[in-house]
Amino acid sequence: MTSQDSEVTLKQLQKELRILKKKLERTELDRDRLEETNQKKESLLRRAICDLQDNQSILENRNADLESAFNELQRTQDELVEARKMASLGGLVAGVAHEINTPVGTSITLASILIDETRLLQAAIAAKQLKQSTLNNYLEIAQESASLILSNLNRAAELVQSFKQVAVDQAIQEHRTFRLKQYLEEVVVSLSPRFKHTAHTVRIKGDESISIHSYPGAIAQVVTNLIANSLVHAYPNNQSGQLCLEVTQQGDRVIIQYDDDGCGISAEILGKIYEPFFSTARDKGGTGLGLNIVYNLVTQKLQGKIEVRSQINKGTQFEIALPLAIND
Ligand X SMILES: Nc1ncnc2c1ncn2[C@@H]1O[C@H](COP(=O)(O)OP(=O)(O)O)[C@@H](O)[C@H]1O
What, of Mg ion, ligand X, none, does residue 233 touch, CB below 5 to 8 Å by kind? ligand X
User: What x/- string results for residues 282 through 311 when contact with Mg ion is judged by CB under 5 A?
Assistant: --------x---------------------
Q: Which of residues 79-138 bind Mg ion (CB under 5 A)?
A: none
Residues making contact with ligand X (CB under 6 A): 229-230, 232-234, 260, 262-263, 265, 269, 273, 278-281, 286-292, 316
CB of 90 to ligand X, least distance (A): 19
What, of ligand X, Mg ion, none, does residue 265 touch, CB below 5 to 8 Å by kind? ligand X
φ/ψ of residue 276, rounded to 5: -65, 140
Q: Is 85 left (phi over 0), alpha (psi -120 to 50) or beta?
A: alpha
CB of 91 to ligand X, least distance (A): 15
Of 22 and 282, the one with the shorter C-beta distance to ligand X is 282
CB of 202 to ligand X, least distance (A): 13
What, of ligand X, Mg ion, none, does residue 262 touch, CB below 5 to 8 Å by kind? ligand X
Of 114 and 235, the one with the shorter C-beta distance to ligand X is 235
CB of 324 to Mg ion, least distance (A): 28
What, of ligand X, Mg ion, none, does residue 279 touch, CB below 5 to 8 Å by kind? ligand X
What, of ligand X, Mg ion, none, does residue 230 touch, CB below 5 to 8 Å by kind? ligand X
229 near Mg ion (CB under 5 A): yes
Distances (CA, A) of 122 to 130, 203, 248: 9, 61, 69
221 near Mg ion (CB under 5 A): no
Give the per-residue SS3 of the chain. Answer: CCHHHHHHHHHHHHHHHHHHHHHHHHHHHHHHHHHHHHHHHHHHHHHHHHHHHHHHHHHHHHHHHHHHHHHHHHHHHHHHHHHHHHHHHHHHHHHHHHHHHHHHHHHHHHHHHHHHHHHHHHHHHHCCCCCHHHHHHHHHHHHHHHHHHHHHHHHHHHHHHHHHHHHHHHHCCCCEEEEHHHHHHHHHHHCHHHHCCCCCEEEEEECCCCEEEECHHHHHHHHHHHHHHHHHHHCCCCCCCEEEEEEEEECCEEEEEEEECCCCCCHHHHCCCCCCCCCCCHHHCCCCCHHHHHHHHHHHHCCCEEEEEEECCCEEEEEEEEECECCC
Of 31 and 164, the one with the shorter C-beta distance to Mg ion is 164
Of 136 and 266, the one with the shorter C-beta distance to ligand X is 266
CB of 287 to Mg ion, least distance (A): 7
276 near Mg ion (CB under 5 A): no
CB of 232 to Mg ion, least distance (A): 6
CB of 81 to ligand X, least distance (A): 22
What, of Mg ion, ligand X, none, does residue 298 touch, CB below 5 to 8 Å by kind? none
**Contacts with Mg ion, residue ranges (CB under 5 A):** 229, 290
